Amino acid sequence: MRRVLWSVLLALLAGVGLGLAYSWVLSPLRVTNSEPIALRGDFKDQYRSSIAAAYAATGNLPRAQARLALLGDTDPIEALNAQAQRMLASGQSFEQADKVVALAVALGENLNGDAPIPTSTFVVVKNDERTFTATPLPTSPDTSVLLTETPQAIETQPIISESTPRPTQTSIPTLGAPFTLTGQDTICDSNLPDGLLQVVVLNSNRRQLAGVGIVIAWDGGEEQFFTGLKPEIGNGYADFIMTPDTTYTVKLGPGSDIASGLTVPTCQASGGESFFGGIKLTFQQP
């Protein structure tokens, strides 16, 4: 009797194993109704890029926010800035990257309350049912964006107002506009790497600009790098390690000021010993 029970139990377990192997590995459910959050990273980039292009055309920030929310980025602004970097680094057009940055800037300004809150209503509703029920989707840019799946709402983000004027286009910094060198400081901090060249790029509102290309040249060499690759320090921050006894020239876009004659400074520590310091350049749009 005991042997029978064991045999049946083993058969049951073997059956469960076979069933799981089939349903998880051999023939998992075919995905047909996925959400943007499940897209592969490069497709998410394209999705963001399209959102930014649509925003550039309509100026409808609530709609752009609702669409970005679908991608599930923990920090949409950082995600947009990082994507702009990737776009520039991969040689995509500056215009498209500029739109992505512009959307990040608009979101940031909206967060900081610098821009008027668009007076629209949008609701993103999710639920745990996988079956799609057809619903009216995005509505007029003048009124709202409504993305709904089913009635059971677990997440809503309403911005409610009485009137629904079309949001005005948020001012967008033109990355190609010339920059002025507003600061050139010698940094003597023994905690920083020797010869660290720090570049901070600001727009006319003193907001840091990501995705600005910086060309550093020296006798026999030249290198290009971009702001925003270290968002933990600042969206408009970039750095470069200079070699002692080499003179560098730093320039941004055409027409911008050029910082020339840059060499690694020698600093004195409190104990009297010397060490190599760094330089901090600040560029700003007038």
Partner 1 sequence: MKTGRSLWVFIILALAAGIGLGLAYGWFIDPVDFFDLTPDTLRADYKADYVLMTAEAYRLEQDPGLAARRLAIFGTQSPSAIAANGLTYARANGFADSDIALIQELVTALQAWSGIQ
List residues near partner 1 by CB under 8 A: 4, 7-9, 11-24, 28-29, 31-36, 38-41, 43, 46-47, 49-51, 53-54, 56-58, 67, 70, 132, 134-143, 147
Shortest reach from residue 146's CB to partner 1, in Å:
10
Shortest reach from residue 152's CB to partner 1, in Å:
17
Burial of 208 per CB tally in 10 Å (0-12, 13-18, 19+):
buried
Shortest reach from residue 77's CB to partner 1, in Å:
19
SS3 76: helix
Shortest reach from residue 161's CB to partner 1, in Å:
18
Which residue number, 129 or 222, has a Cβ lying nearer to partner 1? 129
Residues paired with residue 132 on neighbouring β-strands, in sequence order: none
Longest dimension (CA), the chain: 93
CA-nearest of 157, 64, 72 to 115 is 64
Distance CA 185, CA 191 (A): 17
- List CB contacts of 24: < 8 A, sequence separation 6 or more: none
Which DSSP helix (H) or strand (E) runs through 58?
Answer: helix 41-58
> Vertex 41, ends 23 and 234: CA angle to 5°?
140
Which residue number, 42 or 232, has a Cβ lying nearer to partner 1? 42
- Euclidean distance between the first and the last CA atom of the chain, given in angstroms as a whole number: 90
Which residue number, 25 or 154, has a Cβ lying nearer to partner 1? 25
Question: Hunting for tokens 């060198």 — which residue is that?
Answer: 181
Which residue number, 80 or 238, has a Cβ lying nearer to partner 1? 80
Shortest reach from residue 240's CB to partner 1, in Å:
34
Which residue number, 20 or 258, has a Cβ lying nearer to partner 1? 20
Shortest reach from residue 172's CB to partner 1, in Å:
13
Which residue number, 150 or 184, has a Cβ lying nearer to partner 1? 150
Burial of 101 per CB tally in 10 Å (0-12, 13-18, 19+):
buried
